[in-house]
Amino acid sequence: MNPVLPELQTTDVGVKVHQMAPAYYVSLENHVGLNMSNVSINGEIKQKSDGKVVARVDEKNRSILPHSKFDVIFTSENANQRISSQEYSYEFIVSSGEETWNFADNFQVGADKVDDVNATIEVKSTHIMIYVGLAVLVVVNGGLVYIIMKQRKAKRNTK
């Protein structure tokens, strides 16, 4: 008798906002009633035009429930990276124990979806806030020094 193996299948591919950063995703579905544990997922997404890697996934010790659907999230190393409307290709491997599943395909990201995802991403520039905070501290300290010096001068003049 053959052992029953999980049947994994990709159902959807695209881009979305994940933890306030742009991310690519591939929806994966387990069609068989088997619980999978100690699952590792490794892969990358490349631009189809030049082969540049734009996002990666490296997950270990994941579990997949029976008859479940979940997103494999590919994230960029640069959280402020903008997603562009073009054709991409993904390749990733899901492994659990001795079993492995390879997935690879091309997909197109449309301009409307790119605009939605990029619009929700705020560029996190902490340098400006640090400079503003330092400027406020300098002004407050300068004002305090001016007031103290003015009071000392007034005290000397009254003696």
- Residue 4 confidence (pLDDT): 58
Nearest-CA neighbor of 108 among 133, 131, 81, 86?
86
Residue 129 inside a domain? The answer is: yes
My answer on whether 28 and 59 are in the same domain is yes
CATH number at residue 12: 2.60.40.10
- Residue 125 confidence (pLDDT): 65
Domain that holds residue 137: 125-159
Residue 2 inside a domain? The answer is: no
My answer on whether 141 and 115 are in the same domain is no
- Residue 124 confidence (pLDDT): 60
Residue 131 inside a domain? The answer is: yes
What is the residue whose two structure tokens read 């330092």? Answer: 134
- Residue 24 confidence (pLDDT): 92
Rounded mean pLDDT for each run of 10 residues along the chain, 159 residues in total: 69 87 89 84 92 92 88 84 90 89 92 84 73 94 94 84
Number of domains present in the structure of the chain: 2
My answer on whether 149 and 104 are in the same domain is no
Residue 150 inside a domain? The answer is: yes
- Residue 123 confidence (pLDDT): 60
- Residue 3 confidence (pLDDT): 63
My answer on whether 37 and 114 are in the same domain is yes
Three-state secondary structure call for residue 65: coil
End-to-end CA distance of the chain: 108
